[in-house]
Structure formats: C-alpha cells, structure tokens
Amino acid sequence: MTEMRPPLDGIRVVDLTRVLAGPFCTMLLGDMGAEVIKVEGHEGDPVRRQGTLKDGLSWYFAAFNRNKKSVVIDLKTDAGKELLARLIETADVLVDNYRPGVLAKMGFGAERLAELNPQLVTCNVNGYGSTGPYVDRPAFDFVVQAMSGFMSVTGAEDQPPMRTGLPITDLVAGLYAAFGVVNALHARRHNGRGQHVDSAMANGILSLMAYLASEHFATGQLPPRTGNDHPLVAPYGLFTASDGEVAVAPSNDTVLRRFLRAIELEHLLDDPRFSTNEARFPRRAELRALIDARMRTESQAHWIEVLNRAGVPSGKVQDLAEVFADPQVRAQEMVIDVARAGAAPVRMLGFPVKLSQTPCTVRLPAPELGEHDDEILGPLRRA
C-alpha cells in the first residue's frame, strides 16, 4: 500500500515573515507537509512576546508557527546575507512580508533570486500590492479594513462603521498567499520555472465583498450597514426566544416559507405587507416584532431543533467556550492539543480542510528561537 504523504512533502519553504499574515501563510504550507524554515533575527519574531505566556511560550505565537523550524540569521550583515543566499539555493519557496522592494534593497531582487535558484517560487505578503500609489504605505489590519470599504458595510445602520472582531485582512492575505504558492508550485511541475506570488491585504478583503460589490456595480448605490439583517432579503438575523437569541438565515422565499410554517406564522405571507421580499424589506422591524412575539413562547433549544428539522438554517450565538466544547467542532478536530517537550500541551485551532488520502497534520510544535540552527545552517556553513 502506498504511504500517505502530506501534499507538500519534500517542499522546502524559507520563511522571512513575522507577526500574522505571513506566518499564517507559511503555517498553512507547513500543515500541508512542507518543511518550513523560519528565519529570525536575534530578537526573534515579536509575537514570541505577545499574548499570554504559558511555561514561557506565547500561545499566540505557537498557534501560527507550528510545523516550522527556527534558525537565527542576522540579515543586516554580509555574512548573514551570504548564509541566506545558500539557504535559498536549497529551497522551493521563499515567503516574505516586507513592503514591496525591501527584499531587493537587501540584495535579493528578482534577478538575484533567479540566479540563485531558477525554480524558486517567491511570495510577498503586503498591504496594498506591488504597484500603484500606495505601495510604500505602512499597512495595518484596522486601516486596511477602513480603506477597503469592508468597514463601511460592517455594523448597525445607526452606528459608526465597525471593524471585525478579528484581523480579517491579515488572515485573508495569508490564506490567498498560501493558495497562490500552491498554484505556482503546480505550474512549476509543467514548465520547470518558478514565479512570483503577490498577496495584498487590501486585494484579499476586497475580493470578499461578494454581492455588496455586485449590487453597487449594478445600481451605483452605496450599500447601507445592516447589522445582523441581510442587505438583500428580509426577514433574516437574530430572533428572540424565551431564553436568548437564535440566528436564522431564510435566504430565499422557499426557506422563508419553511421558517414561517415551522413557527406557525405562514399566514403572514398572505398579507400584502409581507407577501414579497420587496414589500417586506422596508417593514423589517414590523415583521421582526411579529416573529419575536411567537418565538418568545419557546426556548432556543426548541426552536433550533424545530427549524433545522424543517430545513431552516439556524443556531445559537455561541461564545468561544461554547464553540470549543461543541461536539461538532470536536468531531471535526478543530481543537487540537500539540505536545511540547517538557511542558503541557498547547491547545490551538486545527486544520479546516479535510483531505481523505493525504491529511494535513501538526508534526512539529512551534520552535524555540534558533532551535534548528545546527540542523539547517550547519551544513551550509561547512559547504
């Protein structure tokens, strides 16, 4: 029987990234089986010192730097740059999250990299892309959320624009970067050449604007902030049961009829005020009040069971403690404990994509700073 090897087994990634967007990209590549060599300066990735430390380890750092090996190289010195050059010669992929052009100023422009390794796939994770007037601007998730239009459509209609609760633009840029690298590696199998992948925070989040962008292109109108309501259909959102709120998503008329039938309010669709989505939309508050009055007669658990059985997407608004105890989350192995020598295991999120034949796994815990110097750099120094 053929051994089930992870998809990127045999691929070596040199990782010059730090903080979040870049490390998320290289973590994904590591989860897919690549050997990821995290190059750090003597101070290490600043995230090593951020968040809660347990047994001297930042669990924030541990979560985004699993499946990596750490080496220390001082890239401000000629000796350090020469060592990096030798490492690049052995690599398949080079990922950095410097501003565009910084790597070239360090002596590793596109021509030099091609000379060192013609088959190298390079990837830069940045704020606004490698061309255009904002190339040299510093980027941060909060600002990119504002600049991209994402913040303008997030929040309640009568409240100021809001950021998301997590650094979504960093994470999306890292995800697209990993996606781009895998595509470039696949192309290399056919043409034998490396290429450059550019993944910008602003481009990534803009690509997720979905039907809001489509409606703006079609109408020229600016989409309003709608909070938990849907910007195109009604009713939709959070409804009030006897012991709390229930999230319900009747995204079309078929599902809406199932919803209202399940809560014994199907007759509302015969009322001209609510018979079409166009009629319902300006009367969302009125319709919500009628639905809430009915749903307050039973518990969250009752309605979630009734609605899902009827084919209506619904669920409870769970906090993180509830999420991580949820049997579905556990069954999907989205909470994992990663062993660490001499200390308690580190709990972190699992890999979200499930491959039946070549599973993605955690093989290595987050490395100590410079832990793999001898293994990785020793042969290069002796060469």
End-to-end CA separation in angstroms for the chain: 38
Catalytic residue among 230, 267, 302, 372: 230
Q: What is the DSSP letter of 47?
A: G
Dist CA 47 CA 19 (whole Å): 6
The whole-angstrom separation of Cα 5 and Cα 63 is: 23
CA pair distance 181, 25, nearest whole angstrom = 9
Q: Which helix (H) or strand (E) holds 226?
A: none
Can you tell me the distance from the alpha carbon of 74 to that of 57, in angstroms, rounded to the nearest whole number?
23
Sheet holding 93-96, edge to edge: 68-72, 35-40, 12-15, 93-96, 121-126, 196-200
- Helix (H) or strand (E) holding 46, with range, is none
∠ CA 345-332-348, rounded to 5°: 25
Rg value, the chain, Cα: 25
Query: Residues 88, 93, 97, CA angle at the centre, nearest 5°?
Result: 95
**Please, which residues bridge with residue 40 across strands?**
72
DSSP code, position 249: -
The values of phi and psi at residue 315, to 5°, are -175, 175
230 included as an active-site residue: yes
8 Å CB contact between 32 and 360: yes
Which one-letter DSSP state was computed for residue 311? T
Where do runs of H (alpha helix) occur along the chain? Answer: 21-31, 59-64, 78-89, 102-105, 110-116, 141-147, 168-191, 201-206, 210-219, 253-262, 277-280, 284-295, 300-309, 320-325, 327-331, 378-382
CA atoms within 13 A on the CB side of 37: 23
> Could you list the active site residues?
230
